[in-house]
Amino acid sequence: MSSTFPDPKSGPAGPAVRASSLGIRFNLDLERGVRLKEAGLGAFRSLLRRKKREFWALRDINLEIPRGEIFGVIGGNGAGKSTLLKIIAGIFPATEGDVATRGSLAPLIELGAAFNPELTGAENIDFTGSVYRIPRPVVRENFDRIVEFSGLRKFIHTPVKNYSSGMFLRLAFSTVIFFEPDIVLIDEVFAVGDEVFQQKSFEKILSFKEKGATILLVSHDLNLISQICGRVLLLHRGRQAFLGPAEEAVKRYHQLITSGEGIGPDTDHDGNRAPAADSRRWGTRQVEITSVRFADERGRFKNAFSQGEYFEAQISYVSRLQDGVPVFGVAINTIYKLLIYGPNTLEKEIEGEFKDRGLVRFIIPSLPLFGGDYLFSASAYDPTLAQAYDHHEMMYHFRVTGSGTRDFGCVRIDSRWKVEGA
């Protein structure tokens, strides 16, 4: 059950968002049932006689978010993050429990869901305002600011069906955020547009907090979560694993990832649990890897990147070797442990001078990976590669967002097509 409190500016103080014993259940046989019904009534009846296969996407979620807080939600794929926002937004009805919001709400979840592709950009701004029940004078007052922010003035009278996906999302994002809601629900929307637009969007969102708005942020960028969120909800398999300070929530999420619990399948093909974190590290520690962090071209630490973006892994080490130079290596795997790339400094000579303590930087100038989650390994070996000094096997995680392509696979390879007549 969901409800909306009165305008927070006119009523007594209270939480902007409140959820109590919240849960949602899906019937996994529903879609299959529709297909069987189309195939024949007998097959459909046989399905009805079977016990329903049900899946609880979320269960027993309890939280209160006061006005003016930036509240983070993190967790692995399928943990229920987006589902939680959709319940709060009223898109999904809860199966059990209650959720209530206080004030106007803007869900930046499925950007452009309210857009009509046959209408122009200008017409869709008006249309979106009507969907969100924004008074027409308010829409007109903000029209020029929306267009200016989107950077699409030249195309604003063009039907949005002719927009690129990036243009479409930029206009959708710009339209919603200029209606100044009391509550903003954000689901991984900071990858919209180029870096300049992303930074502009980020600053606009933060300005809501200064006006007393409440922000719920779902993101795989743990560095961003740590920077701007006071409290964070960690979801794991649809359950509330932790709710508290951002630093502790991120720490616990890293523990889930490194134990194989946080992302990817729960078991391998033989039904065995993923190995614990200590089985993913081995070596003599004559050279010890003390930390691995990911950064962009400006040196900002982050865990979420866009395809084509600069990617850097910074590997800090301490050496106890009397002489010799170790071989450093890295590996990038899919969450299903398929190896994509595994270079080392034996194959490519490392730039700079090796010292007893330092930082090894592994740089990909333009990340070719498609959108998804990836596991990262780092290691230091002796020059023969026979002895591991310190090997961290798939202990780190990063995410790639928004490839914007219809190609298939993991890696984008520069290629072209050509046809010639017979």
- Take residue 246 and report the two structure tokens written for it: 């951002």
User: What integer pLDDT is reported at residue 54 of this predicted model?
Assistant: 76
Distance, in Å, from the CA atom of 265 to the CA atom of 260, rounded to the nearest integer, reads 8
* Residue 276 confidence (pLDDT): 37
CA 169 to chain CA mean position, Å: 16
Torsion, Cα 107 108 112 113, to 10 degrees, reads -40
**Is the Cβ–Cβ distance between 108 and 176 less than 8 Å?**
yes
Please say if the pLDDT value at position 256 is more than 90.
no
Burial class (CB in 10 A: 0-12, 13-18, 19+), 203: exposed
DSSP string covering 251-308, please?
HHHHHHHHTT-SSS-SB-TTSPBPPPGGGGEES--SEEEEEEEEE-TT--B-SEEETT
Give pLDDT, residue 10: 45
Q: Using 50, 70 and 90 to split pLDDT, how confident is the model at 119?
A: very high
pLDDT at 269: 30
Query: 129-165, pLDDT tens digit by residue?
Result: 888 778 889 899 999 999 999 999 999 999 998 988 7
**Confidence at residue 85, expressed as pLDDT on a 0 to 100 scale:** 94
Tell me the percentage of the chain whose pLDDT exceeds 70: 80
What residues have CB less than 8 Å from 208, skipping those under 6 apart? 177, 180, 181, 184, 215
Which three-class secondary structure state does DSSP give residue 5? strand
- Angle at which helix 136-150 crosses helix 121-131, to 10 degrees, equals 130
User: What pLDDT score does 28 carry?
Assistant: 60
Hey, what are 159's tokens? 């039907």
Q: In one letter, which amino acid is 197?
A: F
Contacts of 245 (CB under 8 A, 6+ apart): 230, 231, 232
Beta strands in 28-177 (DSSP E): 54-66, 70-74, 96-102, 105-108
Distance CA 361, CA 294 (A): 10
Residue 167 has pLDDT above 80, yes or no: yes
Contact status, residue 382 vs residue 341, Cβ threshold 8 Å:
no
Strand partners, 24: 58
The yes-or-no verdict on residue 341 having pLDDT over 60 is yes
Calculate the CA dihedral of residues 305, 307, 309, 312 and round it to 10 degrees.
Answer: 60
Q: What average pLDDT does this structure show over 347-367?
A: 88
Determine the pLDDT at residue 62. Answer: 97
Q: Give the pLDDT confidence of 44-68 residue by residue, as tens digits.
A: 455 455 555 678 999 999 999 999 9
Give the alpha-carbon dihedral of 405, 407, 410, 411, to 10 degrees: -80
Mean pLDDT of 392-412: 77
* pTM for the structure as a whole: 0.59
Catalogue all structural domains in the chain, each as residue range(s) with its CATH number. Answer: 2-252 (3.40.50.300), 277-401 (2.70.50.60)
- What pLDDT does residue 210 have? 82
Q: Helix, strand or coil for residue 101?
A: strand
Per-residue pLDDT at 203 exceeds 90: no
